[in-house]
Amino acid sequence: MSAPIETPPAASDFIRDKVRADVAAGKYGGRVATRFPPEPNGYLHIGHAKSICLNFGIAAEFGGVCHLRMDDTNPTTEDPEYVASIQRDVKWLGFDWGENMFFASDYYDALYELAEKLITLGRAYVCDLTEEQMSEYRGTISEPGRDSPFRERSVEENLDRFRRMRKGEFKEGECVLRAKIDMASPNMKMRDPPIYRIKHAHHYRTGDTWCIYPLYDYAHCLSDSFERITHSICTMEFESARELYDWVVEATEVPWVPKQTEFARLNLSYTVMSKRKLLELVEGKHVSGWDDPRLPTIAGLRRRGIRPEAIREFCARIGVAKNLSTVDVALLEHCIREDLNAEAPRVLAVLDPLKVTITNWDREPDELDAAYWPHDIPREGSRKVPFSGELLIDREDFMESPPKDFHRLAPGRAVRLRHGYVITCNEVIKDAAGAVTELRCTYDPETRGGAAPAGQKKLGTIHWVSAAHALDVEVRLYDRLFSVEQPGSTEGVDWKSELDPQSLTVVRARVEPSLASAKVGERFQFERLGFFIVDEDTRGRALVLNRVIALKDGYAKLQKPKEPEKRARPQAPAAEKPAAEKALSREALALKSTYGITDDEARALANEPLLLSLLESAGRSEVVPFLVNEVLREIRSKELASVPFDGTALVELQLLVNDGTLSNKLAKDVLAAMIAGEGSPREIVDKRGLKQTTDEGAILAAIERVLAANADAVARYRAGNQNVIGALTGLSIKETGGRANPKLVGELLRKKLAG
């Protein structure tokens, strides 16, 4: 088997520490073999993903193997559909069991033989007590149990009855095979547990070959032994079963002795994870199927548009521990956003269209060039977006009587249309009921593609589409399935009544025409709205899109004080990174997720509206370092309330640095000139002749002049004083008018002095 290449490195945990110690001690000859053992009676969910990442992850890290084993010992609930779904989901998560696919049902013969062996050794007996009697005989936690009247049957009688059980001579429940351990054991699990029961049922793999089936506590540990598993990792509810696990392995005298280790299962807020409840939701048609995008099933998460990378990252962050806790679903949502932020191209879409007529548009539609990765400047890829006299914007981006800090469209106010022009709203048209039906605006032809409008500074940027060109699509807006944090935790309240009726809203949306060629499974960020994926219900050009997740980071709500008894904290290892993020405001978190920037950068931007409006008009995260350092310094030192340029000028400046025209030092000078209103970066560079030079001849000539004028410094350098080189470099750069590349000057100077 192998683990995916990008599996996040798992921090160590108590299980990995144990495996490491076992390997170091040469236990099992240094071998590591784990297994993931689902029962094929339902679809896998994100809790299983935790176990999959753990088992396959450990095998990969220690050069071992991880088996996929169907723990299929219950004929009435298992189904090949579930086997197929489990295999698909494990693969999709990025793991490969290779040759090591097993079925407990393949061990039925071997398990039967060992049961006869236990009988022969006097370690098991056939008991005819009814189920009620048996539980009565079992005693309680505080009282020991009583021996069954059948406990002392002879080996011969037991063998005979067990063989007749197998032949089908008894009805279901008439008798069971029990391990003969200790009815007074403080561990209830050890009070002669049943290990075989009668079930006259057809098994999906063994058909009608068997009418007796082994119980989990007997079959599981022996399957582990047959497969030479070293570390049998399971969830905490099996802790009390460990004693029985060890007993069965020892009593059957199998040669391979695996060991069980338990960890806490994953619980997630705002959802349910038990297979029984998931089945009830599916069968009761509360959801559309096992792959309903609101379910925590792997199939549901996949259809929702989440990538396996995000799930693996989530599993790495929650870590592995023994203490039970509920992880906030916001942490999962955070991992999803972080993953898609780096992956999804940005496009324009409008979910709740409001018509905008551009009254001074008197020409053919314009074709705007729009980058797919405006937040990631070196990444190539763009498309054409048509702009015309009739546009649509999201209703939310217009307010008739807005507060002062509303940086979107309002009567008399201007806004930048992403990738397009600045428009100003002149007139609001309403229907008879007073609802706004249309906005009449004018555009500024000078502002195409983000150029600075004269005299306009703090402009917001909104998304839009051209009405005649936009595609009409179905968008499914998914939200959390339950409206309460811990469904089923309130006495007397049916957990199904806690389903959120608004967890799915279907809208007709309008998207830019480039999406006509989108394929099923392709993901996009609809700018300012969220991440979306093309759903498999898409037929030809009739697109159906699922909202994977909105842009807003729900993690921010963790900042709010919460009722301590209701919300469990994420497990300790999980807390680290998100804990730091708690300090971020909601706005900063949104910025971080939109632009893929650091916490500090997001904080600086969120605190300074001028920086933010510059970033919005630049629309590219590449300018962020310059913004939060140089621009912020200038704003603070000069106490500026506005600057006479917008973000696109900063993009231009950055490009001049990128292509080597300007050094960082010169870029600061240009910035100062821009603030002084001297024009665009290029104009300033031309006017002042600031262009950085890499012309070696010119630089050498300048160096020679400097050396000639500073003979004593040269002498000191040659006498061994290295310190003067800094001063000489500075003088030489100055001599070139500050235009020489400092690195080149340093190199040439050293060469000159050495020669």
**Catalytic residue numbers, as ranges:** 39, 265, 275
Residues 612-641 that bind ligand ATP (CB under 6 A): none
Which of 258, 265, 223, 264 lies closest to 242, judged by CA? Answer: 258
Strand partners, 197: 213
Any contact of residue 261 with ligand ATP (CB under 6 A)? no
Work out how close the CB of 230 gets to ligand ATP at its nearest, in angstroms, rounded to a whole number. Answer: 16
Choices 46-54, 138-146, 182-190, 692-700; region in contact with ligand ATP by CB under 6 A? 46-54
Alpha carbon separation from 468 to 40, 111, 472 (Å, rounded): 51, 70, 10
Site for ligand ATP (CB under 6 A): which residue of 119, 134, 229, 234? 234
Contact segment (CB under 6 A) with ligand ATP among 34-42, 300-308, 414-422, 469-477 equals 34-42
Task: Report helix, strand or coil for 522.
Answer: coil
48 binds ligand ATP (CB under 6 A): yes
Classify residue 240 by its DSSP letter. G
Least distance to ligand ATP from the beta carbon of 89, Å? 12
Cβ proximity to ligand ATP: between 265 and 567 the closer is 265
Strand 461-462 with 414-417, pairing: parallel
Instruction: State the nearest-atom distance from the C-beta of 61 to ligand ATP, in Å.
Output: 18
Task: Give min distance, CB of 268 to ligand ATP, in A.
Answer: 8
Least distance between ligand ATP and beta carbon 478 (Å): 22
- Within the chain, what is the greatest distance between any pair of CA atoms? 115
**Of the two residues 151 and 277, which places its CB atom closer to ligand ATP in the complex?**
277
Cβ closest to ligand ATP, residue 104 vs residue 651: 104
SS (HEC) of 268-281: ECCCCCCHHHHHHH
Rounded-to-integer distance, Cα 145 and Cα 186, Å: 10
Near ligand ATP by CB under 6 A: residue from 7, 15, 33, 50: 50
Which of 38-46, 431-439, 490-498, 740-748 is the region at the interface with ligand ATP (rule: CB under 6 A)?
38-46
Closer CB to ligand ATP, residue 41 or residue 585?
41
Q: Is 16 left (phi over 0), alpha (psi -120 to 50) or beta?
A: alpha
Q: Is 319 in the site for ligand ATP (CB under 6 A)?
A: no
> Is 111 or 241 the residue whose CB approaches ligand ATP more closely?
241
Residue 242 sits in the site that holds ligand ATP (CB under 6 A): no
Sequential DSSP letters for 73-131: --TTT--HHHHHHHHHHHHHTT-B-TT-EEEGGGGHHHHHHHHHHHHHTT-EEEE---H
Cβ proximity of 385 and 514 under 8 Å:
yes
Stretch that binds ligand ATP, among 39-47, 122-130, 327-335, 593-601 (CB under 6 A): 39-47
Stretch that binds ligand ATP, among 47-55, 384-392, 641-649, 730-738 (CB under 6 A): 47-55
**Alpha helices, DSSP H only, in 582-695?**
586-595, 599-607, 609-618, 624-626, 632-638, 647-658, 664-675, 681-688
- Could you give the 3-state DSSP secondary structure of residue 546? strand
Under the binding rule (CB under 6 A), the answer on residue 388 touching ligand ATP is: no
Tell me if 41 contacts ligand ATP by CB under 6 A.
yes
Least CB distance from residue 318 to ligand ATP, whole Å?
Answer: 10
In the numeric block, which tokens belong to residue 319?
């870590």
The distance of Cα 672 from the centroid of its chain, to the nearest Å, equals 42
Task: Please give the backbone phi and psi of residue 114, each rounded to the nearest 5 degrees, phi first.
Answer: -70, -30
- Residue with Cβ nearer ligand ATP (51 or 442): 51
With contacts defined by CB under 6 A, name the span among 45-53, 199-207, 604-612, 727-735 that binds ligand ATP: 45-53
Say how many CA atoms lie within 13 Å of 514 toward its Cβ.
21
Per-residue x/- track, 271-290, ligand ATP (CB under 6 A): --x-x---------------
The residue among 225 and 514 lying less far from ligand ATP, judged by its C-beta, is 225
Smallest separation (angstroms) from ligand ATP to the CB of 275: 5
| 416 HSE (CA, 13 A, CB side) | 28
Among 8, 47, 365, 746, binds ligand ATP (CB under 6 A): 47
- Which of 47, 738 has the CB closer to ligand ATP? 47
Q: What is the DSSP letter of 257?
A: -
Q: CA of 278: how far to CAs of 41, 65, 197, 286, in Å?
A: 11, 31, 27, 10
* Exposure class string for 172-210: b at 16+ Cβ within 10 A, else e: eeebbbbbbbebebeeebbbbbbbbbbbeeebbbbeeeb
Beta-carbon count within 10 A of 298 CB: 27
d(CA 124, CA 186): 20
Which of 16, 33, 37, 361 contacts ligand ATP by CB under 6 A? 37
Residues 6+ apart with CB under 8 A from 332: 46, 268, 310, 314
* Beta-sheet strands, E only, within 513-617: 523-526, 530-534, 544-550
- Residue with the shortest CB distance to ligand ATP: 47
The nearer residue to ligand ATP, 222 or 441, going by C-beta atoms, is 222
Should residue 603 be labelled a site residue for ligand ATP when binding is judged by CB under 6 A? no
Query: Of 309, 229, 168, whose CA–CA distance to 34 is shortest?
Result: 229
Q: Is 94 in the site for ligand ATP (CB under 6 A)?
A: no
Size of the site for ligand ATP (CB under 6 A): 14
Site map (CB under 6 A) of ligand ATP, residues 554-573, x = contact: --------------------
Piece of 41-49, 91-99, 194-202, 694-702 that binds ligand ATP (CB under 6 A): 41-49
Is residue 38 at the binding interface for ligand ATP, with CB under 6 A as the rule?
yes
Q: How far is the CB of 265 from ligand ATP (least distance, A)?
A: 3
Q: Quote the CA–CA distance of 306 and 265 in Å, as a whole number.
A: 22
Query: Does position 325 bind ligand ATP by CB under 6 A?
Result: no
Residue type, 223: S
The CA distance from 720 to 713, in Å, is: 11
Nearest CA to 78 among 98, 112, 55, 104?
104
Provide long-range contacts, Cβ within 8 A and 24+ apart, for 538-544. 541/471, 541/516, 542/473, 542/474, 543/471, 543/473, 543/474, 543/511, 543/515, 543/518, 544/473, 544/474, 544/475, 544/476
Query: Which of 35-43, 485-493, 524-532, 612-620 is the region at the interface with ligand ATP (rule: CB under 6 A)?
Result: 35-43
Determine which residue in the list 138, 199, 265, 567 makes contact with ligand ATP, applying CB under 6 A. Answer: 265
Q: How would you classify the pairing of strands 464-466 and 422-430? A: unpaired
Residue from 51, 260, 503, 538 touching ligand ATP (CB under 6 A): that is 51
CB of 54 to ligand ATP, least distance (A): 8
Minimum CB separation of residue 87 from ligand ATP in Å reads 13
Residue number, 275 or 346, with CB nearest to ligand ATP: 275
| CB nearer ligand ATP, residue 261 or residue 388 | 261
- Choose, by CB under 6 A, the member of 2, 187, 235, 325 that binds ligand ATP: 235
Neighbours of 301 (CB within 10 A): 27
Measured from the CB atom, the residue of 48 and 476 that comes closer to ligand ATP is 48
41 versus 710: smaller Cβ distance to ligand ATP: 41
Q: Looking at 48-56, 111-119, 561-569, 638-646, which segment touches ligand ATP (CB under 6 A)? A: 48-56
Distance in Å, CB of 38 to ligand ATP, minimum: 3
Distance CA 593, CA 709 (A): 55
Binds ligand ATP (CB under 6 A): choice among 39, 72, 535, 652: 39
The span from the CA of 682 to the CA of 755, in Å, is 39
Where does this chain bind ligand ATP (CB under 6 A)? 37-39, 41, 47-48, 50-51, 234-235, 265-266, 273, 275
